[in-house]
């Protein structure tokens, strides 16, 4: 006689205790402490912040390795990323002038990722990284090539951390500091140049992502009205 009993799914608590989700909680604690001491110990802040960023890659590996991918984990991961980056951009907006540069990057980062996540779930996609139906080659390359995505994401974070570390007072002109650093011809200059390129590409992709996600929401609305 066949057994019709379905295999029981994971309990609510077990999902909260998935290994990648536990790593996510650790990331939150690392970031909280890092920002608490950011002005009193810049080097320790940079180390903790970057360690949290590295953990972002580790939790993804764990999710695939132990088959513990979850919607909660995906949301936790994105929210942690966006809030930590937002906090660092706010700090940079207080260190450099014009502050609007960093506040604009903050707004673009949150808007593009939130729209992408929302539009993906709206049309029934399992992940916001599923962009196979996109017609933009750069957008598809970003989400389709893990190395390219990693370079752009790491470049942004490294550039922001470097700008914070090399700042000496709270009223510095951003362009002056960047140009002076690039002209030094030091390893730091090379690091800033490489990071600046990757960060610039990432901002272009954020704009494409925001427009693509907005189009998906509008298309969903028009198709929904046509079915009535």
Catalytic residue set: 81
Distance CA 151, CA 174 (A): 23
Describe the crossing of helices 71-95 and 19-36 by its angle, rounded to 10 degrees. 10
Distance CA 118, CA 128 (A): 8
Strands (DSSP E) contained in 90-223 are 96-97, 172-173
The DSSP call for residue 129 is T
Distance CA 218, CA 210 (A): 12
Alpha helix (H) residue ranges in 123-186: 137-144, 146-166, 174-183
For residue 48 the two structure tokens come to 């903790």
- What is the maximum alpha-carbon separation in the chain? 78
Distance CA 210, CA 213 (A): 5
Token match 């066949």: residue? 2
* DSSP helix, strand, coil percent of the chain (3-state; round to 5): 75, 0, 20
Instruction: Please report, for residues 75, 88, 187, 220, the alpha-carbon distance to residue 208 in angstroms, rounded to integers and kept in the order given.
Output: 21, 23, 32, 18
């Amino acid at each position: 006689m066949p057994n019709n009993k379905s295999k029981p799914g994971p309990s609510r608590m077990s999902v909260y205790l998935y290994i990648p989700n536990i790593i996510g909680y650790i990331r939150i604690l690392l970031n909280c402490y890092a920002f608490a001491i950011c002005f009193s110990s810049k080097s320790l802040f940079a180390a903790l912040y970057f360690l949290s960023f590295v953990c972002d890659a580790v939790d993804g590996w764990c999710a695939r390795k132990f088959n513990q991918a979850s919607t909660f984990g995906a949301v936790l991961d994105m929210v942690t990323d966006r809030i930590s980056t937002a906090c660092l951009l706010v700090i940079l907006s207080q260190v450099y002038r014009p502050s609007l540069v960093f506040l604009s990057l903050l707004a673009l980062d949150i808007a593009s990722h939130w729209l992408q996540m929302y539009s993906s779930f709206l049309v029934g996609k399992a992940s916001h990284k599923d962009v196979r139906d996109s017609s933009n080659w750069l957008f598809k390359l970003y989400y389709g090539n893990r190395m390219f995505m990693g370079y752009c994401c790491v470049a942004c974070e490294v550039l922001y951390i470097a700008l914070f570390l090399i700042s000496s007072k709270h009223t510095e002109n951003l362009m002056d500091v960047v140009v002076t650093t690039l002209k030094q011809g030091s390893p730091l200059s090379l690091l800033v140049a490489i990071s600046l390129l990757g960060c610039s590409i990432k901002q272009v992709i954020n704009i494409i992502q925001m427009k693509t996600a907005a189009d998906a929401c509008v298309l969903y609305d028009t198709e929904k009205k046509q079915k009535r």
